[in-house]
Structure 1
Amino acid sequence: MTHNPIRPWRNIDRRVSRKIRVGSVEVGGDAPIAVQSMTNTLTHDAGATIAQIRRMEQAGADIVRVSCPDQASTAALREIVQNVDAPIVADIHFHYKRGVEAADAGAACLRINPGNIGSLARVKEVVAAARANGCSMRIGVNGGSLERHLLEKYGEPCPDAMVESALDHALILDDLGFHEYKISVKASDMFMTVAAYQKLAEATDAPLHLGITEAGGLRTGTVKSAIGMGNLLWAGIGDTIRVSLSADPVEEVKVGYEMLKSLGLRTRGVNIIACPSCARQGFDVISTVEILEKRLAHITEPISLSIIGCVVNGPGEAAMTDLGFTGGGGESGMMYAAGKPDHKVGNATMVEEIVAAVEAKAEKLREARETAGIAAE
């Protein structure tokens, strides 16, 4: 993250980790924090899975995970990989053969706990397949499925047990000379999860995949994930994130980006600053913002937009954003550009004019970025 010398309270010093690759996406080191999600289609239905992944890509997913519980799923993986852009992580559960098949089919990463797939010979076979195919791995520890000996040792799932499990699995790969892995230590208990990641961050330089598992539905899961992962991200911990919601996976991607944008860690898309509205509003703020969020969802360039109902806070907020609209006392309000009043706009046409202004700004930013040879967020 670029440090802000004027407003140092906004700075986040990211934990130093080694960098690995998940296909075309770098994870760890100085790479942007990657946003991932997971399909909930039947993987062996390649058509449905591809369609869902494409919707996730449109929302900005950097990486997508698919479950591969059986041979039919890994058989479909090759077609899936060939028809999407995002690198695919294959979640292979406990069967080592699924790992070999997934690596050979083009998976960019395997979600695997090497200590859970049997003998060392089986682990070596999976590692050999990963090496041969340029495939990285994610060690994924879950508080709800810890090893029996750790539960006996600690009495219950706890941060120390989760970290010990993760490091035990990592040691197996390290001993085999395989270091292209990232680690997660997730639990549905937000406190346990945060404590485990804090401890793990001090114990390894491996990239960390953040998540609060089984967080809940769209609203409750978003709140729980934002509190837990937000604390970690603010402390500089985390190299890739997955927001686990009992909702459309596209919503996971959207929430993930909003979380990172709020911390200044990613900048993709329009950031709308809007008031909650009150009796002073000169237009229906809530419905306007709802419409604008949908109409501007296709914008990927970083643009800040303020939508404020009246002149109490409107001019001040507009001064801090690229574009803005502030309601007046009648049937019109003021459009702002680069923080300054630009022209009056009628309430009846403001949505169309705001959308047009944002799209024009996005096009200019895109042209300037491409001229400078800068990659999109």
Structure 2
Amino acid sequence: MSIRPWRDISRRKSRQIMVGNVPVGGDAPIAVQTMTNTLTSDAKATIEQIHKAVEAGADLVRVSCPDEASTAAMPEICREAGVPIIADIHFHYKRALEAADAGAACLRINPGNIGSAERVKEVVRAAKANGCSMRIGVNGGSLERHLLEKYGEPCPEALVESALEHARILEDNDFREFKISVKASDVFLAVASYYGLADACDYPLHLGITEAGGLRGGTVKSAIGIGSLLWAGIGDTIRVSLSAEPVEEVKAGFEILKSLGLRHRGVRIVSCPSCARQAFPVIKTVELLEERLAHIHTPLSLSIIGCVVNGPGEARETDIGLTGGGQGNHMVYLSGVTDHKITDDRLVDHIVELVEAKAAEIDAAAKAAE
């Protein structure tokens, strides 16, 4: 019996493109993306939502541009966003031209859907002139009719063929600054399609399970699909598509990346589900700590374990650890070593202070090393 190397993630080799100032593909960190759900024409509301997503860690934000009022708001949005903005274009090529001129860093557009070859050339010219990249976004729910007739139903072969057809249109126009996605709401269909596309080209791939659902179900569904692809080394950007606020998509995206050791941002909490052995209310404590530590961006680890069964072992592997003890005396571990005991009084406040101090220490050391 052979056992696969259990921490071996070797990323697929892909070419690198730039989305504004964010490198995508190659050896660049996997970028986390979300999408606004405000009216893009309401620049103030859209910018506010973008800023919240950026505070949560978003590297890229997509906004829909369905009409002229939306692209008219794009100059202000792109100027104030703080991260590269991706303009979501579907069938109207003029919106792509307007978005490129307005400062969009990337156009999400399928060139085969916007009409004549001359229209495609116009969009490519606008993208080149403005330093825009593109994303070809194939979706299992909107495949071209000729592919549905050929294959009878959405299948991995159909999604990959659609993606490569669109890619060839851009290649024929001497444009290669693009990434590709082949999303589907069915996890099996999406994963198989990405595997096929990864073998067929070297373009960077944007991962997602589209229309994944609400906060809980959509997060689980996305974690299974996106996580399995990332573990196989496939993927250069990700979006967790939820029927929830964009900030929740960003948080879920980083949790997926953190769980695989691919990116680290903020506090990674290791905690037990609690049981009758717990010496303090674990669930409530973790809820409070997640809320109180949301402002910490520095990568570090914290274990919160209710009793001594697994507490010491988990604490050895984290920067700060808390293990429940009898009579309200709980052990605190620093860098895996027992350090001091605390009682129930100010338990959460004390852990927050320790985490903030550790984050400041890590930040100072990183700054001194520059």
Q: CA separation in 1, counterparts of 2:219 and 2:327?
A: 37
Aligned to 2:350, the other structure's residue is in SS state: helix
Q: CA separation in 2, counterparts of 1:220 and 1:371?
A: 43
Return the letter of the residue paired with 2:349. Answer: E
1:212 to 209, 212, 215: 209
Aligned to 2:342, the other structure's residue is in SS state: strand
Aligned to 1:335, the other structure's residue is in SS state: strand
Counterpart check, 1:238 vs 2:256:
no
Return the letter of the residue paired with 1:120. Answer: A
Q: Alpha-carbon deviation of 1:224?
A: 0.6
5 Å matches for 1:271-310? 271-310=268-307
Length-normalised TM-score, structure 2: 0.98
Match of residue 11 from structure 2:
14
Q: Alpha-carbon deviation of 1:366?
A: 1.1
Query: Gaps (5+ residues) in structure 1?
Result: 1-6
Counterpart check, 1:263 vs 2:260:
yes
Counterpart check, 1:312 vs 2:282:
no
Aligned to 1:26, the other structure's residue is in SS state: strand
Aligned to 2:241, the other structure's residue is in SS state: coil
Return the letter of the residue paired with 2:191. Answer: V
Return the letter of the residue paired with 2:28. Answer: A
**Mean Cα deviation higher: 107-116 or 346-355:** 346-355
Q: Alpha-carbon deviation of 1:48?
A: 0.2
Could you give the per-residue CA deviations for residues 328-364 of structure 1, whole angstroms, max 9, x where no partner exists? 0112201110001111111121111110110111111
Counterpart check, 1:346 vs 2:348:
no
Match of residue 33 from structure 2:
36
Return the letter of the residue paired with 1:135. Answer: C
Aligned to 1:145, the other structure's residue is in SS state: coil
Return the letter of the residue paired with 1:88. Answer: I
Counterpart check, 1:59 vs 2:56:
yes
Q: Alpha-carbon deviation of 1:372?
A: 2.3
Q: Alpha-carbon deviation of 1:275?
A: 0.3
Counterpart check, 1:177 vs 2:185:
no
Q: Alpha-carbon deviation of 1:371?
A: 2.4
Q: Alpha-carbon deviation of 1:21?
A: 0.6
2:353 to 320, 343, 356: 356
Return the letter of the residue paired with 2:102. Answer: A
Length-normalised TM-score, structure 1: 0.96
Q: CA separation in 2, counterparts of 1:297 and 1:332?
A: 27
Q: CA separation in 1, counterparts of 2:84 and 2:368?
A: 27
Tell me how large the CA RMSD over aligned residues is.
0.9
2:331 to 319, 331, 334: 334
Could you give the per-residue CA deviations for residues 97-144 of structure 1, whole angstroms, max 9, x where no partner exists? 000100000000000000000001000101111001110000000000
* Pairs aligned (count): 367
Aligned to 2:339, the other structure's residue is in SS state: strand
Q: Alpha-carbon deviation of 1:11?
A: 2.1
Aligned to 2:6, the other structure's residue is in SS state: helix
Q: CA separation in 2, counterparts of 1:264 and 1:224?
A: 19
Q: Alpha-carbon deviation of 1:95?
A: 0.5
Could you give the per-residue CA deviations for residues 52-105 of structure 1, whole angstroms, max 9, x where no partner exists? 000000100000000000010000010011111111000011110000100000
Aligned to 1:31, the other structure's residue is in SS state: coil
Counterpart check, 1:85 vs 2:75:
no
Q: CA separation in 1, counterparts of 2:301 and 2:338?
A: 16
Q: CA separation in 2, counterparts of 1:362 and 1:199?
A: 42
Counterpart check, 1:195 vs 2:192:
yes
Match of residue 4 from structure 1:
none
Return the letter of the residue paired with 1:129. Answer: A
Counterpart check, 1:158 vs 2:158:
no
Q: CA separation in 1, counterparts of 2:87 and 2:60?
A: 11
Return the letter of the residue paired with 1:238. Answer: G
Identity of aligned residues (%): 72
Could you give the per-residue CA deviations for residues 168-195 of structure 1, whole angstroms, max 9, x where no partner exists? 0000111111100000000101100000
